[in-house]
Structure 1
């Protein structure tokens, strides 16, 4: 009987630990949508600021600003995507079509994401390809300085 109780307790502890580790690891080379949601939630709770630049995988499909605000007291109109010109968001033959309210990923690609917000203006999510970590961070700062006018 004690063995059964010990096993149940061990499984419960394991479940809690796995959930905790999963939240910590989110965005570290993870899915782009999850990374954006985590960053947006962090910035929204602080009111303004910038997240750390994180590398993520953009799977095929569409990411809309409305997908990011489902559990936040924000509107999709409060969030804007900004794509850095380059391999990820260029106009000709790029693996993604980057607009202000949605990103359509045509071919799976890795890239960098950072979320920021100044004291006024929208929440800005800047994305760039795997070689644009510095550019993504600089663009976010530029957008904040211009109150969302990138």
Structure 2
């Protein structure tokens, strides 16, 4: 019988680790392709988008799918750690979307507050023209293009949408 040395055993261990890391990389790549369809938390998505648009000074963020969890979101929560006043941020919704004005609608949308009565998935984008407020536009799960269009309208009208 051949006797294997310590160097051989160490090399086998290194090869095993390399194979395990390669398999993990493939699995993570697969999971990350599935993940964007699920949607992140609405508050976190809005904060990230607002920060992105604020750092550029104007423009709009990418439209992202997000999950609105029961509770409420106020503009004051979005401007934490940003040089932006809550008075310079407002919500706007796509007509015929997930927003309504009563407590029976999935979302009750006001200019400075969104009350989430029922967990629901929707689309969010944030935009700002060269003047006017930052506008966070939300729409239902089937209104991705309408969210972009509404954001463009808001920018063109200096935030009065």
1:106 aligns with 2:110: no
Q: Which runs of 4+ in 1 moved over 4 A?
A: 25-28
1:119 aligns with 2:130: yes
Give the equivalent residue in structure 2 for 1:4. none
Q: Which residues of structure 1 form unaligned runs of 5+?
A: 1-24
For residues 97 and 116 of structure 2, the distance between their equivalents in structure 1, rounded to whole angstroms, comes to 12
What CA deviation, in whole Å up to 9, does each residue of 1:58-93 have, x standing for no partner? 000000000000110111101010012334103463
For residues 82 and 27 of structure 1, the distance between their equivalents in structure 2, rounded to whole angstroms, comes to 23
Deviation at 1:94, TM superposition (A): 1.5
- TM-score, with normalisation over the residues of structure 1? 0.80
- TM-score, with normalisation over the residues of structure 2? 0.75
For residues 60 and 38 of structure 2, the distance between their equivalents in structure 1, rounded to whole angstroms, comes to 17
Give secondary structure in 2 for the equivalent of 1:70: coil
1:78 aligns with 2:88: yes
User: Are residues 39 and 26 of structure 1, via their aligned partners in 2, closer, same or farther at CA, if it must alter by over 3 Å?
Assistant: farther
How many corresponding residue pairs? 131
For residues 127 and 36 of structure 2, the distance between their equivalents in structure 1, rounded to whole angstroms, comes to 18
Give the equivalent residue in structure 1 for 2:64. 54
Q: Is the 8 A contact 1:87 1:94 kept in 2?
A: no
Q: Which residues of structure 2 form unaligned runs of 5+?
A: 1-34
For residues 155 and 37 of structure 2, the distance between their equivalents in structure 1, rounded to whole angstroms, comes to 22
Greater CA deviation, 88-97 or 104-113? 88-97
User: Are residues 63 and 143 of structure 1, via their aligned partners in 2, closer, same or farther at CA, if it must alter by over 3 Å?
Assistant: same
Give the equivalent residue in structure 2 for 1:33. 43
For residues 118 and 26 of structure 1, the distance between their equivalents in structure 2, rounded to whole angstroms, comes to 28
